[in-house]
Structure 1
């Protein structure tokens, strides 16, 4: 996933990298060096810009159904576009994604949330 922003302080090309085992500072450094070389040679973006390499973070957003399957067993926080049984926010243990439904355990019960009704979802960091 890449983002290019031009602002008053200059332009930034932000690239997010991810891996099942997680991302380290060394991973970001390696990608930065490799990508910098390619960008210098190909020069696809006009003018000066800063290159930022980052991971999605501990509280990473869950956007695709594959994310909900991958992070089953983790705590998540969901914000719904519309109320479901009187609730717009749910916080619980992600069980997975089944037939277009995101399944989580919250407050002692099982919630089945239609994927398309999710406005945003994030992992809840556990320390």
Structure 2
């Protein structure tokens, strides 16, 4: 698994494959694609700035225009659809190996497609990830390896420590230029 790319399947994988190169060219990284609904589906795109700065409304607008054009041409979704673009936020989904490694030491919850030791939902401290597994230390102290293909979704838990870590990293980013 490429640590910079989120794991998607089906329609969401086709959308991700279509838009990821454009996002990279614009200086963004794809965090997650979700396609919700049937009649007029909503395509949700979560992105990060590649330079590590926080995403602003203007970034979302820029992504929306570029991604909308790419999806119009690639046409992976039949019929009409709605596009929503957002930042990953503080209590972000963990979709890439680099996310699991970046947020090691923070609390997270994961939902699995297949049970491990009889459990489809787990929570605990993120320990990092490698090419095949994401790792957590569960509340009972046991360590668990989650195979990438079996992770349905994973997300950080909003805690004071996560807020402090996110605020600290935001404090170290240079201020945006103003005219």
- TM bucket normalised to smaller: 0.5 to 0.7
Output the CA distance in 2 between the equivalents of 1:70 and 1:121.
14
Match of 1:23 among 38, 48, 54: 54
Which structure is larger by alpha-carbon Rg, 1 or 2?
Answer: 1
Check whether the contact 1:62–1:120 (CA below 8 A) recurs between aligned residues: yes
Structure 1 runs not aligned, ≥5 long: none
By how many angstroms is 1:103 displaced? 1.0
Structure 2 runs not aligned, ≥5 long: 1-29, 73-81, 161-179
By how many angstroms is 1:51 displaced? 7.8
Tell me which residue corresponds to 1:117.
Answer: 150
Tell me which residue corresponds to 1:108.
Answer: 141
Change (3 A) 1:117 1:101: same
The secondary structure found in structure 2 opposite 1:72 is: coil
Change (3 A) 1:122 1:22: farther
By how many angstroms is 1:72 displaced? 1.6
Check whether the contact 1:17–1:23 (CA below 8 A) recurs between aligned residues: no
* Greater fraction helix: 2
By how many angstroms is 1:73 displaced? 1.8
Q: Tell me the TM-score normalised to structure 2 length.
A: 0.49
Output the CA distance in 2 between the equivalents of 1:54 and 1:92.
26
CA RMSD of aligned residues (A): 3.7
Output the CA distance in 2 between the equivalents of 1:30 and 1:112.
35
Instruction: Report Cα offsets for 1:52-108 as digits up to 9, x if no partner.
Output: 652112222122223222222221100011110011111011010034121111121
Q: Tell me the TM-score normalised to structure 1 length.
A: 0.65
* Greater fraction strand: 1
The secondary structure found in structure 1 opposite 2:104 is: coil
The number of residues matched between the two structures is: 119
By how many angstroms is 1:121 displaced? 0.7
